[in-house]
Amino acid sequence: MSSVSAAITIDETPTLSSGTSAISSGYTHSFSIGPTISGTGHTPCFSASNNSGPSHSPTQTNAHSTTYSTYLDLFEEEYLSDDTDLQEAISRSLESSTNESDSRMTLERIMEQIGSRVNNDSTVRFNIIRRNVWDGTSRAMGRSNFSPEKKVDVKFTDDYGTSEGAVDNGGPTQEFFRLCLHEIKDKIGIFEGPSNAKVLTCNSKGTLLINSY
């Protein structure tokens, strides 16, 4: 005997996937409605099923992993060169950087070298007015007998040329250089920017030449 059945199936399966495996949980509903013809006669038939429960299924990621590995291999091959000239140039550059770092001098060593060139038998005198330090400095450096290798002797005076009376045994010279640095930093025009982060101006050399420094 033959049987004829009409069926309507509804499948609702929400799926949540993460990583290399997928977890599917929810309810699966199915039912069928239709006549069934059997040996005993015509019998209406109604059937329904309701299955509930989580299911686990792996997610294929081999293709993705293979593609990423291939990309890494190509990237590595691009930057690994067998060019001997290139490798030699890189090696020389590294050695040069190492030598430069080893040859850097300390501040103490620089001061020692500068001090060793000072001629203590010759003296250049600076008469400095505190209100206008750089004016007296530029006048002293503009004299024909000025030499940076001569020993510096500083005398501070007031606006009328009266000396403060201090003998320069090192203290007035240190004060003089401190005041000069402030003048250079703030008033000469070779630096620009905020007071705590100044940088050289674009035309610092021109400024020095114009002012004959």
3-class SS letters over 77-103: HHHCCCCHHHHHHHHHHHHHHHHHHHH
* pLDDT value of residue 52: 46
- Per the document, the length of the chain is 213
**pLDDT at residue 26, rounded to an integer:** 44
- Does residue 99 lie within any of the structural domains? no
The model's pTM is 0.44
Q: Which residues of the chain have pLDDT under 50?
A: 1-7, 9-10, 12-33, 35-43, 45-61
Interatomic CA distance for residues 149 and 144, integer angstroms: 14
Whether 198 is covered by a domain: the verdict is no
Residues 127, 73, single domain; the answer is no
Give the chain's domain count.
2
Domain extent at residue 49: 1-79
What residues have CB less than 8 Å from 35, skipping those under 6 apart? 4, 5, 6, 42, 43, 44, 45
Which tens digit of pLDDT belongs to each residue from 98-157? 655 556 778 888 888 888 888 888 888 898 888 888 888 888 888 888 888 898 889 888
Partnered with residue 100 across adjacent β-strands are none
- Tell whether 158 is covered by a domain: yes
- Do residue 58 and residue 4 come from a single domain? yes
